[in-house]
Chain A
Amino acid sequence: MEEKKTAWERLKLVHTKGRPTIRDYIPLIFNDFYEMHGDRFYGDDKAVIGGIAMLDGTPVTVIAQVKGRDIDENKACNFAMPLPEGYRKALRLAKQAEKFHRPVICFIDTPGAYAGVAAEERGQGEAIARNIAEFMTLRTPIISIVLGEGGSGGALALGVCDELAMLENAQYSVISPRGFASILWKDAEREEEACNIMKITAEDMVSLGVAESIIEEPLGGAHNDLDKISENIKEYLLCKIPEKCEKDIDVLLKERYTKFRKIGEFTE
């Protein structure tokens, strides 16, 4: 690994044009990806994709937030900000995975859940809450990987898992640094300062017990070598998926609950 970058430098890096998105990764990590559409209630959200794929001979369910690679793609996927139907599609596919005993792999890459009239009217809060609660007891292994940005509840809705991995430069936060500065200091321009004190890097996630693993990026960042970063992600999955699948499901669920249960710092 190269010299450690600051959180701000990494934020710039994950916003770099050309940073690989899930659309780049899927063909290099999986075979035969069949995309499934819709939440069966309202519609098909383009900010979340999901489907069934083969991971080196093992059928898996893949659920991912989609960033665009250019402005047109970004418009189409709403800049990776899911609507409630995106989260409900994710839950539908997760329940299906449970039924057919497929492990679930979630890729997180969102600045946050969409904030807008449609999202409120269709229950953004309820959709996220439901996913968090249902994923906690889903009777199949779940691995989540933060690819770039993991922003707030919109990320956590795909982040309740048996193990969380961060790409080396990825970030996970309660709110975007800009939102943080704007709420706490009433000054969005202090974004860089916020970014550097919020503890949002991959190493921070490991030390706070939020993530278990860091997936190394090629020198200079994931965009410099798509094959290499895809290989690293695949290698990680090929190590973790069998490990989780071998575990007794009740033990796995207990460990999943405990993973989140123990996060928090207080005295009494």
Chain B
Amino acid sequence: MFDDFFNVVKLRFNGGDEDEVPTFKCPRCQSPVPMSRYEELHRVCPNCNYHGRLPARERIAITADKESFREFDADMISCDPIDFPDYTEKQKELRQKTGLNDAVVTGIANIRGITTVIGVMDPNYMMGSMGSVVGEKIARAFEYATENGLPVVLFTASGGARMQEGIVSLMQMAKTSGAVKLHSDNGGLYITVLTDPTTGGVTASFASLGDIIIAEPKILIGFAGRRVIESTMKQRLPEDFQLAEFMQEKGFVDMIVERKRMRATLAHLLELHGYKGKEV
């Protein structure tokens, strides 16, 4: 979203015309799209089908039935486990700026009437990195689903472990994966929706453990960063390296689903696993 924001600002100030409508410049095809149109399409470029990063609240709004979402652990905020300089202040600023308390929003919602535990990561909050709060909220969401026999749908978006929490952030990989495993052993369905970007410690934990793994088109999925690989290998990587289609080709993604079809796809998959919608 910050990228989008800067694109808008740049166009407005460089364009010269003060009355010009806010415009989104697609980072992939470079075409300008009126911001209102881009938002109406839920941040998908109408020219090249680029799937932009969607804030967590917008994702919930287009996934869950109207007014069905009930948030879990909304007030949970992180401490500073390794006393990292300025971490507490930085978080305070970010909370104000983004309206989020950390990088994931979890809760319960209906998807076409089917009660589902849902989690959405938001890359606008410290690149969606996983620290104590992300780990705890995701573990609790799975535990709630296990206790209540509910399916889980998670939208992942993360740069990986949150460095500022040191080893404590690494341990969240074990905490979340353990909770996923217990949910799975209990027969629960877990659908992962990989969104841009899903990398590092999140790829190496709960994002890769879904019974069904869906990805949005052309999004980045990987363990190590492209630049890290390029610098160690001293070679240029192909354009499509680590894109969703590449990862599907390699066998790590079940299906690629466009944003406009996501809600219907999720509802069908839930139904196929015997989860039923409430009577209306």
Where the two chains meet, the residues of A that have a C-beta atom closer than 8 Å to any C-beta of B are: 113, 115-117, 119-126, 128-130, 132-134, 136-137, 152-153, 156-157, 159-160, 172-175, 180, 183-184, 197-200, 204-205, 208, 210, 257, 260-261, 263-268
Contact = CB atoms under 8 A, between A and B. Distances in A.
B52 interface: no
B242 interface: yes
Nearest to A210: B167
For the side of the interface on B, what is the size category?
A: 35 or more
A184 B179 CA distance: 30
B81 A265 contact: yes
Contact of A267 (B77, B131, B201): B77
Contacts of A125: 203-204, 207-208, 222-223
Given A124-B224, A153-B204, 9 more contacts: A117-B237, A119-B224, A126-B208, A129-B203, A136-B174, A153-B200, A174-B165, A200-B167, A267-B76
Contacts, number: 180
Contacts of A210: 167, 171
Question: Dominant SS at the B interface?
Answer: helix
B63 interface: no
A48 B251 CA distance: 24
Interface in B174-196: 174-175, 177-182, 184-185
Contacts of B233: 116-117
Contact of A183 (B79, B163, B173, B251): B163
B34 to A, nearest CB: 35
B161 interface: yes
B82 A198 contact: yes
Interface stretch (B6-14, B41-49, B132-140, B264-272): B132-140
Nearest to A160: B174
23 contacts: A117-B237, A120-B224, A123-B252, A125-B223, A126-B208, A132-B173, A133-B180, A133-B184, A153-B204, A156-B173, A156-B174, A172-B167, A173-B167, A174-B163, A174-B165, A174-B166, A174-B201, A260-B174, A264-B133, A264-B136, A265-B81, A266-B136, A267-B77
